[in-house]
Structure 1
Amino acid sequence: MVVAVALGLWLPDERPGAPSAGAARAGDREPVPVGPAGKARPGERPGASQPGPRPTAAASAVGTVGPATPAAAAASANELGQVPVLMYHRIVAKPTLTLDRTIKEFREELVRLATGGYVPITAGEFVSGRINVPAGKHPVVLTFDDSTPEQFALDPQGRPKPDTAVGILQDVARQYPGFRPTATFYLNKELFGLAGQEAAGLRWLQQNGFELGNHTLTHKDLSQLSKKDVQKEIGDIEAKIVSLTGRNTTTLAYPFGSEPDKRSWAEKKDGSYSFQGVFLAGWKPSESPYAEDFDRLAIARVRSEGKIKENDCTRFCSTAWLEELEKNPATRYTSDGDPNTITFPRSEEDRLAKRLRGNGRIY
C-alpha cells in the first residue's frame, strides 16, 4: 500500500523559493503551481470524507496496529510515503509548446520508472486506496491533460498509433513485464480529435485498462468563474463522457491547477458529478492516501520535465523528484504486497489515518 514519508526529505512548499502561481513560462496552459497542496480553505477540514481503503470488520473492531510480516519487513515496505503523480501534456517529435515532451523524453522516463521498480496505477485507484502492486515495488500515477491526438489515436486496424503516449506506454510495458500499461486521461471537449469516433475511442481506452477523468469542457480558469459557470464547465464534459461511455469519471484535474472560490462547487453536484479526488498542477509528490494529512481535494502532481531552469524544474519537476526519491528510498511508497494491510516503519505510526489503524502493520 502506501510509502511512508521518511523524516528529513524537504518538500518545496516548506522551503523558500518554491515557484509561485505566476511563475509559468509563456504559452503554458497549466502553470506550475497555483498554491500549496494540502492547505484547507477557511471552514474546510483537510482530508474530510475521504473514501480511502475500507478497514476490514475485524480491523475496525480492534483499531490497533499489528506486527508486520517478515516478508513485508524484508521488502522495507513503507506505505505511508510519497507517491509521484506525474503530469503530462502533448507527446511530440518536435516540441512547440512549453509543456510538450518529446517522444524520446517520454519513452526514457517510462523506462526509468520501469527499471526503478515503479508500477503504474490509475488516479481512481490511488485516491480510493486500491493500491495493489508487488512487494518492494512503488506505485506511480501517470496523468495526461487536455486529451490531445498526440496522447491517443487509433490506426485503421484499431490499434494505438505507435508514437502516441498510449502506443509508447504499451510498447514499454511489453519490454518490461510487470510495468502495467495504464494511465488516467483528463478530458476536454476535443476528446483526442477523434472526430466522430469518440465513443469507440473512449471505449477502447476503458476496455484496455486506461481511465478517463474530468478536465472541464473548455479548460477555463475555475478561480475566475461563478458557482454556476464552474458547475457548467465540469458538468457539461461529464455529461458528454457519460453519454459516450455510460460511466461517470472518478477524479477531476483543475485546468491550470486553479481552485474555484469554493472547493465544494467542483467536488460534486447532485445528479451531475461527484469526485473521489481532485488534482492540482502541483510541484511535489503526493502524500499517501493512508496518511492522516492526505487531502483528497488538493492532490499534488509533478510536471514531467528535465532539470531545466524554468519554473525551477531543477528541483520541482519529474527528473529532479525521481532522483530525490532514489537518493532517499525510505521516503517513497514501497508496497508490502498485500492490498489489505498498510505496512510502515514504527517511526511513522503517528502519520497513519486513525480510521485505518486496524489495517496498519509496523516493524
Structure 2
Amino acid sequence: MTQASACSPGRPGSGAAPSAPAPTQTTTSERPDAAAVKANELGLVPVLMYHRLVAEPKAEFDRRPEDFRAELQLLFDQGYRPVTAAELAARRLDVPAGTTPVVLTFDDSTRDQFALGDDDSVDPSSAIGILIDFSRTHPDFRPVATMYVNADPFGVRDGVRLLRKLADLGIELGEHTATHANLARLDATNVQRELVLGQRVITDATGQAPRTMALPFGVRPVDRSLAAAGSWDGEAYSFEADFLVGAGPAPSPFADAFEPQAVPRIRSSSWAGGPPNLGSAYWLDWLAGNPDKRYVADGNPDAVSFPSAERPRLDPAFTARARAY
C-alpha cells in the first residue's frame, strides 16, 4: 500500500514455527475467575499493519527492523498475545486469561518481510525471522501473523516455495488482489478478476483458499458486496473479513459494532516526516491509559465475558455465550 485511508480469513498454515511450543491448555477448574482478571471481551482489539522493514524509512509505511523488534517487546510487556486475522474473523481468540489479542498483518509480500536462505532456513533479518526469534525467548507469544500477498510474492522467482514455507510455519496467507488494484476504479468484472487471480496465487501454492482480504489503499469497490464474495472464470471467492488501512483499534468481534467487511487497522511506522498520525505508538499508549476500553480475555474461548455495564454492546448473536459479571 502506498497511501493511507481510514480502513474467509487467509487460512492459517498447517504447522507451527518450530521454536514456539503450543500454549498450555487449562481445564475449566483451572481458569481464573473472569472478574478477577477484569475480563472484557467486548473491548477493542488492535490490528497492526506493517509494510516494509528498512534501515532508513522513506515513507509513512516504513518500519525499521529494530523498531519492529522493540514493538514486539512492548506488545508482550503490555499483555498482548498474537492471533491471526482468520482467528479474529472466526471469533476464536484463544489467548491466556488477562491478556489481549493482537493481530500482526503484513501487506504487499516484500522480501524484507520474509525470505529464505539456500538451506531453506528463515532469514533472521526478515520480519517473520524477527518474530520467530522473539518467540524463542517469549514462548507464550505465538509467532503467528497474517501476510497479505500479491502476485509475484517477495520479488523472487520461487515465491511459491516461500508461500508454502509460510503456511508450514503457521502464518496465515490472505488476499491483497493480484496487482494491488484500487478496486473502486474497476468495474464489477475486473474487481472479481483481480480477486480470483489474487486468490490463485495462494491456492496454487498451498491448496487452500484465503479467508480474509486486505483492501489495497483501504478502498472498497463500488459494489461493496464484491469485496466479500464473487466469482470469475468459473472460480468463486469468499472472505470472512476485509481489512481497511486505518486508523484505530477494531471493535471486539463479539460486539455489535464489529463489521467483518470493514475491520480497521493501525499503521506501524518509523517514519518521522509529515504531520503526526494515529499510528501504533499513539494507540498502544492510549490503550495502556484506558485499560477499560481494551479487550481482555477470560481464558475460555467458548465464553464471552464482560462487566455487566458493557452488556448493551454485545452482539445478540452471542447471547448464549455471554458471561456478564
TM (normalized to structure 2)?
0.89
Q: CA deviation at 1:103?
A: 0.7
Following superposition, the deviation at residue 95 of structure 1 comes to 2.3
After TM superposition, list the pairs within 5 Å mapping 1:78-227 onto structure 2: 78-195=40-157, 197-227=158-188
Verify: 1:300 aligned to 2:258, yes or no.
no
State the alpha-carbon separation in 1 of the partners of residues 310 and 214 from structure 2: 30
1:239, CA displacement in angstroms?
1.7
The letter for the 2-side match of 1:33 is S
Distance 1:359 1:150, change over 3 A: same
Contact 1:239-1:272 at 8 Å conserved across structures: no
Partner of 1:317: 279
1-structure distance, mates of 2:270, 2:295: 22
| 5+ residue gaps, structure 1 | 1-28, 38-48, 50-68
Distance in 1 (alpha carbons) for counterparts of 2:200 and 2:271: 39
CA distance in 2, matches of 1:79, 1:159: 38
Deviation at 1:331, TM superposition (A): 0.7
Q: 1:241 corresponds to which residue? A: 202
| Superposition RMSD in Å | 1.7
Normalising to structure 1: TM-score of the pair?
A: 0.80
Kindly provide the amino acid, as one letter, of the partner of residue 244 in structure 2: L
2:49–2:267 contact (8 Å) kept in structure 1: yes
Looking at structure 1, the residues matched to 43 and 236 of structure 2 have their Cα atoms a distance apart, in angstroms, of 34
Q: Note the C-alpha offset of 1:32.
A: 2.5
Distance 1:305 1:352 in 2: 33
Q: Secondary structure at the match of 2:276?
A: helix
Corresponding residue number in structure 1 for 2:5: 33
CA distance in 2, matches of 1:362, 1:343: 6
1:115: how far off? 1.3
- Are 1:84 and 1:301, in contact at CA under 8 Å, matched by a contact in 2? yes
2:57–2:270 contact (8 Å) kept in structure 1: no
Shift of 1:295: 0.4
Q: Give the CA deviation at 1:306.
A: 5.5
The one-letter amino acid paired with 1:303 is R
| Aligned match of 1:344 | 306
- Bigger shift: residues 339-348 or 172-181: 172-181
Query: For structure 2, which runs of at least 5 residues remain unmatched after alignment?
Result: 9-30
Q: In structure 2, do the counterparts of structure 1 residues 120 and 70 end up closer, same or farther at CA, with 3 Å as the change threshold?
A: closer
Q: Alpha-carbon deviations, 1:94-137, whole Å to 9, x = none?
A: 22333110111111111111111111000000011011000001
Deviation at 1:272, TM superposition (A): 2.2
Distance 1:331 1:146 in 2: 31
Of residues 221, 230, 241, the one that matches 1:269 is: 230
**Deviations 1:59-109 (Å, cap 9, x if unpaired)?**
xxxxxxxxxx86111000000000000000011222233311011111111
| Percent of residue pairs bearing the same amino acid type | 44
Deviations along 1:134-185, one digit per CA (max 9) or x if unpaired, are 0001100000000000000011121111110000011111122211101000
Counterpart CA distance in 2 for 1:176 and 1:167 is: 14
SS of corresponding position for 1:147:
coil
| 8 Å CA contact 2:62, 2:270 repeated in 1 | no
Closer, same or farther: CA 76–307 of 1 in aligned 2, 3 Å: farther
Q: Distance in 1 between matches of 2:38 and 2:60?
A: 39
In 2, Cα distance between equivalents of 1:105 and 1:234: 33
Distance of aligned partners of 1:141 and 1:70 in 2 relative to their CA distance in 1, 3 Å threshold: closer
Tell me how far 1:311 sits from its aligned partner. Answer: 5.2
Contact 1:188 1:237 in 2 (8 A): yes
- Size of the aligned set, in residue pairs, is 300
